[in-house]
Amino acid sequence: MTQQNHLRGVSLASSACILWGISGVAASTLFINNPHLTAMWLTQVRMISAGLILLVWGMVAGKHPFKIWHHRHAAWTAVSYGLLGLIPVQLCYFEAVRVGNAPIATIIQFLGPFIISIYYFLFKHVTPSRIELIGMIMAFIGTLLIVTHGHLNSLAISPVILFWGGLSAIGVATNTLIPRTILPKYGALTVTGWGLLIAGLFLTLLQPMWRVHLTITWPQLGLLIVIILLGTVAPFLMFARSLSDILPTTASLMDAFEPLAATVFSITFLNVQLTSFDFIGGLLIILAVMALSLNTHKMLHFLRRRRAHSSS
């Protein structure tokens, strides 16, 4: 791996995360300017549109996206990924943005990797390392600062924001864990495309989007296109491409750019006011997740060794 390839991979991964952060700010702008817009409708439009684009892209690239339906396990995994992974990570995140703001929603969602660590501890019996325990304590303190602003007897943010943000963090975990068995065979383009389309169509069955009477202005349509193309399709392709040049652990460190971008753009364009507790708490969470990401490869290596030992 050359230095040039490494730099390209880092640039692609960080740019993808910045675009994800911008999409949250764009969604927040839509909710502010159009009170009739719901997180459900926005999620449906985003998922169906992005899912179709990715699947068409996959067909053009010769990925044969329909092959996934030839195997029952893969098909059920794709459905589970859409319903249990992508719906909470996107719908619940937009709900947190709608009732709160993009920076806080993104920072709370950023706790997802720790839910993955808890999952591995409870169900895979992988004991957290020292750095992971330190990271969890940092993340807990950071979250406590954001939620209470230093006053432990009261909440500084609405419990509704905490509820939807917490569900979106769980969604980050399920979104990561569920498709891991089929990604190597079918590819991220196919799996994500079908997951998005399935999730969007399922939500449409629950609440048909055409029954929602909305008046969308041209600027709002522009923001919607930004969310679909620049906030979903483009960053996914960029992040997937970055993995050809850098390690997944390196790419995961770039995730820190998402809450940072959401914070900077929200303050700059939406005049969102954040307290020093929000900044300190957010910084602690970001540093904690970065520490966890640096140690992820050790956890995966341990799991591979344990699996090889148990099968021998």
Task: Render pLDDT for 199-248 as a digit per residue (tens, 0 to 9).
Answer: 999 999 999 988 888 889 999 999 999 999 999 999 988 988 887 787 66
The pLDDT assigned to 294 comes to 65
Question: Is pLDDT above 60 for 310?
Answer: no
pTM above 0.85, yes or no: yes
The pLDDT assigned to 312 comes to 41
3-state DSSP assignment of residue 218: helix
- Alpha-carbon torsion, ordered 9, 14, 16, 18, to 10 deg: -170
Task: Render pLDDT for 133-169 as a digit per residue (tens, 0 to 9).
Answer: 888 888 889 988 998 887 877 778 889 999 999 999 9
Candidates 40, 279, 72; CA nearest to 164 is 40
Q: How many helices and strands (H and E) does the chain possess? A: 15, 0
Cα gap 171→290, rounded to integer Å: 19
Cα gap 10→183, rounded to integer Å: 22
Half-sphere exposure of 287 (CA within 13 A, CB side): 13
Q: Which residues of 64-87 are buried (b: 16+ CB within 10 A; e: fewer)?
A: ebeebeeeeebeebbbebbbbbbb
Cα gap 142→232, rounded to integer Å: 28
What distances in angstroms separate CA 271 from CA 156, 162, 266, one per listed residue? 19, 21, 6
Candidates 58, 63, 100, 53; CA nearest to 227 is 53
Task: Render pLDDT for 17-57 as a digit per residue (tens, 0 to 9).
Answer: 999 999 999 999 999 999 899 999 999 999 999 999 999 99
pLDDT band at 171 (very low <50, low <70, confident <90, very high): very high
Please give the residue that has the higher pLDDT: either 278 or 6. Answer: 278
**Stretch 86-107: mean pLDDT:** 94
Q: Mean of the per-residue pLDDT values for the chain?
A: 87
Question: Which amino acid, 103?
Answer: P
Question: Is pLDDT above 90 for 3?
Answer: no
